[in-house]
Every structure is written in structure tokens, then in C-alpha cells.
A and B are shown apart, each in its own frame.
Chain A
Amino acid sequence: MNRRPWLLGGVAGLVLCFLYAPIAWLAAVSFNDSRSLSRITGLSTRWYAELFADDRVLESLGLTLRLAAASAAVSTVIGTLAAFGLRRAFPGRGLWTLLLSLPLVVPEVVLGVALLGFCVKLAGVPLGFGALLAAHVAFSLSFVVVVVRSRVAGLDHRLEEAAADLGASPLVAFRTVTMPLVAPAVAAGAAFAFLLSFDDVVTSSYLTGVGSTTLPVFVYAQASKRGVSPEIVALSTLMVAASAALLVAGVLLAGRRARASTFVEPNRDE
């Protein structure tokens, strides 16, 4: 398999094309002159102008961003603790693992209607931000635990022991040795949780309250009547552009750090 990587690379490239095709189409259509998403008639930036003039879209975007940030924060903190909790064997670990993988196997529609019934009938909790946060953390947690846990499992415990031998307190050892090693996985988990919350339609559609409609739910309600508006297409294009820019910045930064470290420690391998 290693002998013909160009064939494999070609297939991988085609799959990436599949992933990017609708995005490329959205970007093209966002500059379209007409409302149509299937035919390009001329060039215009009017949808971007209308996007920034539309209070309802901007309001629900704000809510969605706040919700995603809160959900990512909560699930990253408690999920990371849980991942560390699962590090060593102890009585009952199997049950905990089962509970933590449960959100992965409960379909979103079931979680949505279950929480709807719970809020409305049992707890008397009004729908809205709180209910959405409860749901989003519940379905993001497992992803954070999975991602962080795999990194925690791969940690070399001798590094922590060395820190302890050199006189570091457990807290200092955690802050200066363990955390930097786990940080990339925590960041990945947080990004995943943010993304899951930011784009959720199915579960959220049951839990939005009056005046607290998330952007995906707003778009779904609108789209089922009139189709997706070109403003939303423009917004999606901007979001992808922003995340692509972040990715490129991250790659450049990582490259520079790698070069810097080879400069500081040129004889590392000797």
C-alpha cells in the first residue's frame, strides 16, 4: 500500500473534494446577483450588506455563539476531569465508561424530545438558554472525554514521577508537566464541543424558547417555508473563511515554533 501513495493520495483528494464541493458552491452563490442558489446570474455583494443589516440573524448568531462558548467551556472542564478520573483502574470504572459513552448512542431526536418532556412536564423549567445548555453539554461531553482520554492514556507517567522526584508538588507537576502535554487534546475537545453546539438543529429545535432561537433553528424554520436565504449563505461563507484562516494561522504558528525549537536545541538528537 505504501508503494503507490499517489493512488491513495488521489482517492483521498477526491474525498476532500466531496467535502469542499458544497462549500465552494456556497461561496460562489453568496456573490450571486439573484436569490437562486442553483443558477449564477451576476456578481453582487448585496447579500453581505443585507446580512449585516438583519437584526434577527445577528441576534440569533450572538445567542448561538454565547451558547456554544458556554457549552464548550462547561463540557471541556468537567469532561477533562472525567478523562483524568478514568486514567487508572478502580472499582466501577466499567460502569462509568458505559455512562460516558451513552450520549454517543442516544439519537439526537430522542435526546431532544426527552429533554422537552423533562423541562415541560417534570421540572417546570422554561425552555431557552438553560435547557439548550443542558442538552448541548450532555451531547458534547462524551466527545471531550474520548479525545482527552486517549491523550491521557498515552501520557508517560515517568515524566510526572520525575517532576515529583525533583520536588514539585502534585499541583505544580500537574500545571507544568501534565497539563502542557494534555493541552492539545483539551483544545481539540473544546473545538469539537463548540462545533457540535454551534451547528445543532435537531435537539435544539425542541428546546428553544421565545426570544432565544439559535441560528440553526432560525434558519431551519425559515428554510422550511422559503428555502435558505442568500444572507445565510453569505454568513456560512464568512464562517468557513474565518475558520480556514484560523487553521492556516495555526499551521504557520506551529511551523514557526517547530523551527524555533530546533534553533534553540540544535543538538537534541545527539
Chain B
Amino acid sequence: MFPTRRRWLVATGLLLPTGLWLGVFLLAPLALVVQFSFATRDTGVARAVLPWTTRAYLTALDPAFLPIFGRTLAYAGATTALCLLLGFPLAWFIARHGGRYRTALLAAVLVPFWSSYLARIYAWKALLDGEGLVNRLLGLVGLDRDGGFLLTDGAVVVGLTYGFLPFMVLPLYVACERFDHRQVEASYDLGHGRVSTFARVVLPGVLPGVLAGSLLVLVPAAGDFVTPRLLGGVDQATFGSVIDDQFRGGNNWPLGSAMAVLLLVLVAVVLVARGRRGEDVL
């Protein structure tokens, strides 16, 4: 009788369990973090002490934290770029030439991730250090480096790229699979070369996947603190590790919360800049 109303009821009913879970275990805790970030002082287990103040934000925006901001952005940006560079050929190859092994190949991308993440990071540690395989192989062509590549920015970016590559490959694969390959033939027939075809036909066609994948890599790469700590050492503080320091041991929850809110704002800015174009893949 009221088809729109009935449809609304059914849809809302189906969405309700998920909505409740996210409301209680995601939105409410995030609101609490915002409240914390305006608290005056809070050590450990006691309730946040009011009155409200913006002091935590003033501390967080102190120029002393600027290099940490910059480093976090640089790691996340470089990781996203590298994931795109490595992920695109793989996703395209699986979607175009995978044949009936497509699903299996896609699963093969995930198999290494069925092991401990930390063990894999430690494997990279072993591969990258002075006596490690990478350095010794590079030594054969005279490109080795004293002490290896551990505790460098490069090591952190390699580790992050390794850790988050599947989040790039999966949405890219979806986009490549949906892409109508006849457009490429048409572009060649119309006299475009490889570069021009890629820039004008392929890239716009798979853009939703590129945007979705970039977002899925950028966010965890900006928040991670385990990889920078293990592969970069103590001096390579990132946003994630500063937040972690403020909460673990209860050093300064308001400051940690303020930095968490800033990280969320940063992500929101990226989201808004992305617009709605990635939505049909994400």
C-alpha cells in the first residue's frame, strides 16, 4: 500500500544490527575521545577532570610536533604511491589475463597474510639488516650500504607497503575487472598511443578503484606505529606512536585524544577531497 514506507522499514530493519553495533562500539567511543581532548587533566584511571579547555590542542599544534606531522604524512603518502605502482600491474594482470585462475590468484595475494604480521616484519628486519640477504645481493653489484637498510625511512616505507598492499590490490582488481577492455582497442583504433590511452582511457576508467585503494592504504599507514617502531627505530616517531605513548601508561590522555582527533580531521580532509567518486567500489 505504501511501497516506499515498506521498503524503508525493511531496509532499516536489515541495517539495524550493524547500526547498533557501530553506534555503541564506534560512534560513542569516538565521542568520548572528543570529550577527553577538551579535558583539563587526566592521569590514568580517574574520570576526566573538567572544566573544558583547549590546552591539549595548543600542545598538539606546537611547532615541536611539526616534524612528526610531516614524517607521518610522508610515510603514508610514499606508501600509497608505492602500493599503487606495485598494485596496479598485479591487479590489471589478474583481471585481464588471470583466466579461470583469477580467484585463485587473488587468494594467492592474501596467502602471505595468513601468518603473523609481526613475524613478517621481523623477516623484513632480517632481510634488510647489514648481513641480510638484500644487502648481500646488492653487494654483488656494488650497491650495498654499510649497516644495511634497517632504521631508515626507506625500510619503514617498504614495511608499510608490504603490510597494506592487499588493501590496494583488491579494490583495484574490482575496478579493472569492471573496466570494458574494448575501450582500449577503440582508443588504439582511433590512433592513440600507449601513454595517451593509459592517461585518457584506462586511468579514468579505473579511478574509483584507485581512489578506494588509496584511501584504504593511506588511513592505516598514517595510524600505524608498529612498523615505524620496528623498522625505523625510536627516532622515527609518527602520529600513531605519539598517540600510543600518551595512552599507554596513562601519560596524558587529553593530549593523546587531541592528536587522535587531529588524525581524524586529516582523514576527513582527504575524504572530502576525494569526493564521492570512489564510492561505488568502496
Contact = CB atoms under 8 A, between A and B. Distances in A.
Interface of A: 1-2, 5, 8-9, 11-12, 15-16, 18-23, 25-26, 29, 37-39, 78-79, 81-82, 84-88, 90-93, 96-97, 99-111, 113-118, 120-122, 134-135, 137-138, 141, 145-146, 150, 191, 195, 198-199, 201-202, 206, 215-216, 219-220, 223-224, 227-228, 232-233, 235-237, 239-240, 242-244, 247, 250-251, 254, 258
A110 to B, nearest CB: 4
A71 B27 CA distance: 19
Contact of B116 (A91, A141, A235, A250): A235
B153 interface: no
B112 A240 contact: yes
Given A215-B116, A236-B115, A18 B14 contact: no
A105 B267 contact: yes
A85 B215 CA distance: 25
A25 B12 contact: no
Given A2-B96, A92-B12, A114-B260, A37 B112 contact: no
A81 B12 CA distance: 10
B184 A81 contact: no
B8 A232 contact: no
A108 B220 CA distance: 7
22 contacts: A2-B96, A5-B93, A8-B89, A8-B93, A8-B96, A82-B18, A92-B12, A104-B282, A106-B219, A109-B224, A114-B26, A118-B28, A121-B48, A134-B24, A134-B25, A195-B110, A202-B226, A219-B116, A223-B122, A236-B116, A242-B114, A247-B107
A interface majority secondary structure: helix
Interface in B130-188: 131-133, 162, 165, 174, 181, 184
A12 B90 contact: yes
A19 B282 CA distance: 24
B125 A81 contact: no
Given A8-B92, A11-B89, A37-B122, A81 B219 contact: no
Interface string B86-123: 11011011101100110110011111111111111011
Contacts of A102: 22, 26-27
Contacts of B253: 117
B264 interface: yes
Contacts of A93: 11
B110 A12 contact: no
A21 B103 CA distance: 22
A146 B282 contact: yes
Interface in B1-38: 4, 7-8, 10-15, 17-19, 21-22, 24-30, 32-33, 36
Interface of B: 4, 7-8, 10-15, 17-19, 21-22, 24-30, 32-33, 36, 45, 47-48, 86-87, 89-90, 92-94, 96-97, 100-101, 103-104, 107-120, 122-127, 129, 131-133, 162, 165, 174, 181, 184, 194, 197-198, 202, 215-216, 219-220, 222-226, 229-230, 240, 243-244, 247-248, 253, 256-257, 260, 263-264, 267-268, 271, 279, 281-282
A79 to B, nearest CB: 6
B8 A106 contact: no
A240 B263 CA distance: 34
B135 to A, nearest CB: 10
Nearest to B48: A121
Given A96-B15, A109-B223, A236 B120 contact: yes
A90 B17 CA distance: 18
Contact of A122 (B32, B100, B216): B32
B112 A92 contact: no
B89 A228 contact: no
Contacts of B117: 199, 201, 216
Contacts of B124: 22
Contact of A82 (B14, B36, B194): B14
Contact of A91 (B4, B48, B96, B194): B4
Contacts of B19: 82, 96, 99
Highest count of chain A CB atoms <10 Å: which of B7, B25, B109: B25
